[in-house]
């Protein structure tokens, strides 16, 4: 990377909302239905059909705005964005231009590769999606308008990011937030969370921004990073060779790992925005905003902070547990039942996440519920079972749904913590291994592990390892 240049990145994210119906009509938004089966005169743009705003879309916009520290506008309006394309039946997209619903927000990002910083959010506005174009084997292009009029939030950032790593950190955080809020399913492959990146470079120290390219077709975090890295290199090389960056839209080609100019879209966009006379202005009262605020879930950033500060967990644990809302909710339920946060965290991050992944089930459907897991942890802490034995108990509960105490009793897994019983086993082990005993007493301390292993084996794993260690030390040093 050439250090004489600074990269400047601004991001536009389209968040597809999880409402049951479209933004301006009652057609279903379900994905993957037969082409054009979910259409009506409104979303087909037939003459005389009138759009009516879905109130739930406004709720989603207010939620997203509050969660990203935006000011919610008391008064906002819809506008027509005029252009021709076969996937846009009306010849205009209903969007917001002047007076969007949310403005002046921010997100704080942090990461290993850069210093923590605040990224500004210029605005969030509501708009309708276009239809889908299919370029199959037929002579023409095919148009499916099921997606037309599907509700989107467009989240526009300030050009505050200086590297692909910062851009990814911002996007991951925004992604986490909208998924936590339940306003978006977050599926990037299906296009529920789409990102365009405005990328430019400038000599270090220059105040004015360089000419930017707008990168499209970035449908995974990995592609976004690849596209930005490629584009930065391309622009720097171009400038170094005496060329000039032109403002244009460039498509990322994931197979080749390059961005390519989109020919044919070079003419300057002139969308001739004007207020849509079909839609009344939107007024959002303080009461409405307060209602939405009161119903907001605890957000990932707040959870991380609580896990670290109130529960004393390491930052790594907090980040893993808070990353997905169902995981965080499982952990929250568990830690209420068993008040040892670090033990809870270890088990959720280890056994629980491992098992749900291996068995391909959602954590909400995990057969070992927080209540059942709390039963296991209780028996670890009171030394009824060893941590190792607890894993067997976990697996058995996964299959049977029984409680930890039932499994321990049925399988006879109760740990032997009675020193009398252990003494007998230790006697046998010492008698059976005279060579090792001599070597140990001759200074080969590493053999302690061997003795513990022999005792554990003889007790069929039921001996309390801590106690075994202690007793062995006493006996062998005698």
| Other C-beta atoms lying within 10 Å of the C-beta of residue 286 | 10
DSSP code at position 113:
S
- In the complex with other proteins, the residue whose CB is nearer, 20 or 315, is 20
CB of 144 to other proteins, least distance (A): 5
Say how far apart CA 459 and CA 453 lie, in whole Å: 10
CB of 99 to other proteins, least distance (A): 8
Q: Which of 140, 124, 112, 143 is nearest to 45 (CA)?
A: 143
Please state at what angle helix 404-411 crosses helix 370-381, rounded to 10 degrees.
60
207 vs 256, beta carbon nearer other proteins: 256
CB of 78 to other proteins, least distance (A): 9
Quick one: how far is CA 90 from the chain centroid?
A: 35
The rounded distance, in Å, linking the Cα atoms of 186 and 64 is: 14
Give the closest residue to 350 by CA, choosing from 332, 336, 365, 331.
331
Per-residue tokens: 58:
């406004």
- Separation CA 286–CA 472 (nearest Å): 70
Decide whether 3 or 267 has the Cβ nearer to other proteins: 267
* Closest CB to other proteins among residues 84, 241: 84
Q: How many CB atoms lie within 10 A of CB 435?
A: 8
Whole-angstrom CA distances from 176 to 56, 71, 244, 328, 454 are: 20, 20, 37, 12, 49
Nearest CA-CA partner of 339 in 308, 320, 311? 311
Helix ranges restricted to H, 310-418: 315-322, 325-337, 341-347, 353-359, 370-381, 387-400, 404-411
Nearer to other proteins, 83 or 316 (CB): 83
Indicate the residue among 25 and 171 with the shorter CB distance to other proteins: 25
Tell me whether residue 77 or residue 467 sits nearer to other proteins (CB atom): 77
CB 281 to other proteins: min, Å: 5
**Which residues of the shown chain bind other proteins in the complex (CB under 8 A)?**
19-21, 25-28, 34-41, 44, 52-56, 58, 75, 77, 82, 84-86, 99, 133-135, 138-145, 251, 262, 264, 270, 272, 275, 277, 279-283
Shortest distance, position 296 Cβ to other proteins, whole Å = 19
**Cβ 54 to other proteins, closest distance in Å?**
6
Q: Which is nearer to other proteins, 262 or 343 (CB)?
A: 262
Contact 80, 276 (CB under 8 A): yes
Q: How far is the CB of 245 from other proteins (least distance, A)?
A: 22
Residue closer to other proteins, measured from CB, 46 or 432: 46
Cα–chain-centroid distance for residue 3?
A: 32
- When the beta carbons of 40 and 349 are compared against other proteins, the nearer one is 40
CA distance 121 to 69: 9
CB-based burial of residue 333 (10 Å sphere; 0-12 exposed, 13-18 middle, 19+ buried)?
middle
Taking the complex as a whole, how short is the minimal distance between the CB of residue 294 and other proteins, in angstroms? 20
Which residues lie closer than 8 Å to 359 by C-beta, 6 or more apart? 398
C-alpha to C-alpha distance for 144 and 131, rounded to whole angstroms: 6
Q: Which two tokens stand for residue 325?
A: 């809302």
| Beta carbon of residue 152, minimum distance to other proteins (angstroms, whole number) | 15
Nearer to other proteins, 22 or 379 (CB): 22
Residue 312 near residue 167, CB atoms below 8 Å: no
- The CA distance from 246 to 10, in Å, is 17
Least CB distance from residue 46 to other proteins, whole Å?
9
Kindly state the smallest distance separating residue 279's Cβ from other proteins, in Å.
8
């Amino acid at each position: 990377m050439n250090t004489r240049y600074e990269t400047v990145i601004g991001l536009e994210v389209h968040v597809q909302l999880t409402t049951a119906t479209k933004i301006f009509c009652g057609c279903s938004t379900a994905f993957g239905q037969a082409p054009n089966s979910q259409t009506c005169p409104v979303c087909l743009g037939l003459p005389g059909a009138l759009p009516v705003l879905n109130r739930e879309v406004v709720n989603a916009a207010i939620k997203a705005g509050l969660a990203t520290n935006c000011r919610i506008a008391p008064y906002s309006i819809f506008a027509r964005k005029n252009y021709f394309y076969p996937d846009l039946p009306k010849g205009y997209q209903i969007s917001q231009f002047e007076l969007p619903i949310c403005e002046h927000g921010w997100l704080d990002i942090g990461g290993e590769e850069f210093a923590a910083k605040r990224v500004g959010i210029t605005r969030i506005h509501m708009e309708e999606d276009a239809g889908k174009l299919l370029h199959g084997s037929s002579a023409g292009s095919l148009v499916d308008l099921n997606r037309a009029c599907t509700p989107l939030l467009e989240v526009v950032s300030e050009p505050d990011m200086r590297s692909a790593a910062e851009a990814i950190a911002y996007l991951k955080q925004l992604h986490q937030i909208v998924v936590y809020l339940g306003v978006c399913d977050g599926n990037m492959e299906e296009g529920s969370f789409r990102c365009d990146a405005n990328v430019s470079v400038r000599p270090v120290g220059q105040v004015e921004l360089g000419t930017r390219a707008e990168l499209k077709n970035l449908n995974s975090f990995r592609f976004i990073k690849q596209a930005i890295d490629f584009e930065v290199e391309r622009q720097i090389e171009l400038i170094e060779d005496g060329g000039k960056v032109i403002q244009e839209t460039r498509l990322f080609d994931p197979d080749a790992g390059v961005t390519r100019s989109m020919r044919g879209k070079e003419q300057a966009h002139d969308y001739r925005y004007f207020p849509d006379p079909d839609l009344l202005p939107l007024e959002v009262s303080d009461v409405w905003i307060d209602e939405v605020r009161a119903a907001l879930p605890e957000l990932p950033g707040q959870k991380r902070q609580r896990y670290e500060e109130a529960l004393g967990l390491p930052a790594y644990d907090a980040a893993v547990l808070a990353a997905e809302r169902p995981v965080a909710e499982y952990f929250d339920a568990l830690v209420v039942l068993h008040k040892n946060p670090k033990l809870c965290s270890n088990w959720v991050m280890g056994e629980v996440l491992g098992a749900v992944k291996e068995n391909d089930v959602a954590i909400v459907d995990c057969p070992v519920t927080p209540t059942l897991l709390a039963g296991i942890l209780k028996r670890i802490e009171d030394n009824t079972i060893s941590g190792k034995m607890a894993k067997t108990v976990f697996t058995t509960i996964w299959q049977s749904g029984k409680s930890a105490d039932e499994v321990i009793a049925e399988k006879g897994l109760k740990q032997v913590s009675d020193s009398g019983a252990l003494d007998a086993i230790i006697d046998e082990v010492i008698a059976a291994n005279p060579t090792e005993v001599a070597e140990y007493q001759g200074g080969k301390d590493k053999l302690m592990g061997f003795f513990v292993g022999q005792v554990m084996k003889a007790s069929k794993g039921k001996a309390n390892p801590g106690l075994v260690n202690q007793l062995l030390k006493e006996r062998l040093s005698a």
